[in-house]
Amino acid sequence: MAEKNNELNRSLSSFQMEMIALGGTIGVGLFMGAASTIQWTGPSVILAYLLSGLVLYIVMRALGEMLYIDPEVGSFANYAKHYIHPAAGYLTVWANVIQWLMVGISETIAVGMYLDYWWPGIPTWVTGVVVLATLTAANLVTVKAYGSMEAWFSLIKVLTIVFMIILGFMVILLGVGNHGHPLGFSNLWSHGAFFAGGFKGFMFALSIVMTSYQAIELIGITAGEAKDPQTAIVKSIKSIVARILIFYVGSIFVIITIYPWNQLDQVGSPFVETFSRVGITAAAGIINFVMMTAAISALNSGLFSSSRMLYTLALNKEISPKFLKLSKRRVPEVAVLAMSAGILLGIVLNALLPLIWHDSSKIFVMVYSASTLPGMVPWFVILWSQIKFRKEHPEYLEGHPFKLAMSPISNYFAMFMLLITLVFMTINPDTQIPLLIGFLLLALVLVVYFVRHRNDAK
């Protein structure tokens, strides 16, 4: 444990914990990526979201079981270090940093693109830098300020999705926006097979859907800065999984019920069209604002998460003790500034590369997608650590109010689903190179660890 003067401020409520996890998980992928997964597998994409949601539930209950006993900052990385191997803890921390560095760069540029909708004359890198500076300042002020900002960002996304689902069912059941003629549910089966792309198409879609849930484990990082951690953890995990499933499954269900799935590529944004259909003429502007908020929210969550992971590395004496430095408000300011500097460097490179290489945008997309494998590392270590946790501490399970059901069978099932998802990513041309990039980065992290610790065994 850290010394008293290195302890972070505990001021996050369970509501703020939930909103931080929602903010990281419900990003632009839901608003922009829905059409792609639907094209791969058709209406069965609903099952892909439900199956991924089951894996998500198992991971979060496994994490919650350990957090209830030992709520720590950067918890799952510390669990990996203790229950698996110090190298696993080191890998987990850096995987999270790599994931959020890539996502942070991408989301910052995305914010500039969305603002271009209203102010086309301003370079996207300028607006990206302004947003990054604002969020960095918010992260440096207090944890409570960060939590409040993230809660508002997430609330905007959540309300938009809920409103869209309600409007969608009004179209489906009441015929609103369709001259009073209810659409019904026939689009679910009237345009070809339910599994339109066969088993391979379903698995390709599953790999993208699975990654869209990443960042839900942020609760495991915020736990160390929560007021009354045990109560907050139980409340947050119980509600967060259900809410995300409702938002994801509900919105996708509405989309493929209203629009023939094989014509979605002609619709544009299904979210924009759903709002437009019921007479909301400013739909494009509304959704653009929400997507901008989603990008800011994901960047905000990424700054928080990755800075706490750098703090964890410093606690474990893997990087300079300077990263342990806290501000007067108990915020790891050096870690926050370091991640902001990394994202800023990415913004600069993204602005300069087109000047020397006109096809640099494809490289940028690949780097963003390369966060998929690093993002899965925390899930694997949570599932594995919880199995070892039970073996080492059976005494904790007596009277434990928040145990994972059917463990370790449920753990093995979830790990199998994650592994088979990665296998299909290796044969999908769209995900092969990003997966390889992520693998090489993680391999480099392990090489560095074992070089630094080559004398430990001796």
Task: Quote the pLDDT of residue 419.
Answer: 93
pLDDT at 160 over 50: yes
- Check residue 1 and give its pLDDT: 39
Contacts of 429 (CB under 8 A, 6+ apart): none
Question: Measured between alpha carbons, how far is 450 from 427 in angstroms, rounded to an integer?
Answer: 30
The pair of three-digit structure tokens given for residue 127, joined into one six-digit string: 């607006």
Please name the residue that has the structure tokens 């739909």. 283
Which of 402, 401, 218 is CA-nearest to residue 307? 218
Cα dihedral 312, 54, 46, 152 in deg (nearest 10): -40
Distance, first Cα to last Cα, the chain: 26
User: Which among 386, 352, 317, 319 is positioned nearest to 75, based on CA atoms?
Assistant: 386
Quote the tokens at residue 72. 């720590």
Kindly report which listed range (107-121, 222-236, 410-424) carries the lowest average pLDDT score: 222-236
R_g over Cα of the chain: 22
Say whether pLDDT at 289 is over 90. no
**What is the C-alpha separation between 288 and 314, in angstroms, rounded?**
39
Specify the pTM: 0.81
List the chain domain ranges. 4-452
> Quick one: pLDDT at residue 391?
92
Please tell me the distance from the alpha carbon of residue 239 to that of residue 235, in angstroms, as a whole number. Answer: 6
Rounded-to-integer distance, Cα 385 and Cα 214, Å = 18
Question: Is pLDDT at 234 greater than 80 in this prediction?
Answer: no
pLDDT band at 452; cut points 50, 70, 90: confident
Which of 450, 12, 445 is CA-nearest to residue 228? 12
Q: Note the CATH number of domain 4-452.
A: 1.20.1740.10
The predicted pLDDT at position 397 comes to: 84
Rounded to whole angstroms, the Cα distance separating 278 from 1 reads 56
**Position 429 pLDDT exceeds 50:** yes
Average pLDDT of the residues in 241-256: 81
Structure confidence at residue 411 (pLDDT): 95
**Which whole-number Å values give the CA distances from 420 to 10, 55, 109, 224, 423, in the listed order?**
39, 12, 32, 33, 5
Give the model confidence (pLDDT) of 119-141 as tens digits.
Answer: 888 887 888 888 889 888 888 87
**Is 353 or 94 the better-scoring residue by pLDDT?**
94
Say if residue 263's pLDDT is above 90. no
The per-residue pLDDT for range 54-68, each reduced to its tens digit, is 898 899 889 888 888
* The two three-digit tokens of residue 42, written as one number: 């058709």
- Res 159: pLDDT: 84
**How confident is the model over 5-20, as a mean pLDDT?**
58
**434, pLDDT greater than 80:** yes
Distance CA 104, CA 107 (A): 5
Smallest CA-to-CA distance from 412 within 5, 135, 154, 62 is with 62
* Percentage of residues of the chain with pLDDT beyond 70: 81
- Amino acid letter, residue 266: Q
When pLDDT is cut at 50, 70 and 90, the band that residue 2 belongs to is very low
Mean per-residue pLDDT of the chain = 79
Of 168, 162, 380, 143, the closest CA to residue 254 belongs to: 168
pLDDT at 74 over 60: no
Q: Contact 64/222 with Cβ under 8 angstroms?
A: no
Whether the per-residue pLDDT at 24 is higher than 70: the answer is no
Q: Exposed, middle or buried: residue 362 (CB in 10 Å: 0-12, 13-18, 19+)?
A: exposed
Please tell me the least confidently modeled range out of 82-86, 151-155, 385-389. 151-155
Give the H or E element holding residue 238.
Answer: helix 229-258
* Res 364 pLDDT > 60: no
Residue 232 to residues 72, 224, 236, 437: CA-CA distances in angstroms? 13, 11, 6, 37
Collapse the DSSP code of 12 into the 3-class scheme (helix H, G, I; strand E, B; otherwise coil) and give the result.
Answer: strand
Mean pLDDT of the region 360-377:
71
- pLDDT, tens digit, 9 for 90 and up, residues 301-329: 778 878 888 887 888 788 888 888 887 77
User: Quick check: helix, strand or coil at residue 136?
Assistant: helix
Give the CA distances from residue 304 to residues 146, 382, 424, in Å, rounded to whole numbers and listed in that order: 8, 20, 32
- In whole angstroms, what is the distance from residue 4 CA to residue 397 CA? 29
Most confident of 3-12, 161-170, 353-362: 161-170
Q: Which of 236-240, 390-394, 411-415 has the highest mean pLDDT?
A: 411-415
Q: Give the per-residue pLDDT at 414.
A: 95
Q: How far apart are CA 298 and CA 28, in angstroms?
A: 9
Residue 344, pLDDT above cutoff 70: yes
Q: Are 332 and 326 in contact (CB under 8 A)?
A: yes
For residue 368, name the pLDDT band (cuts at 50, 70, 90).
low
